[in-house]
Amino acid sequence: MSIDGRYRKNINPGLEVKVVLKKDQRSGKTTSGIVKDLLTNSSYHPHGIKVRLEDGQVGRVYTE
């Protein structure tokens, strides 16, 4: 089951997600973590909703 990470309504704090960190955008490498905060205010973003993970890393939710 894969969520669509481009829609804010699908992302909630405490959700385990895969994100693409800024430094990994070229390679597309993903990092797993638990959502702490949602940083994108709009309801939709074509590249994925930006989140802060509980470990402090920031990235966009990866959608396959």
| pTM for the whole structure | 0.92
Q: Which CATH architecture has domain 8-61?
A: Roll (2.30)
Torsion of CA 10, 14, 16, 20, to 10 degrees: 70
Domain boundaries, the chain: 8-61
pLDDT of 48 higher than 70: yes
The pLDDT tens digits for 6-31 are 999 999 999 999 999 999 999 999 99
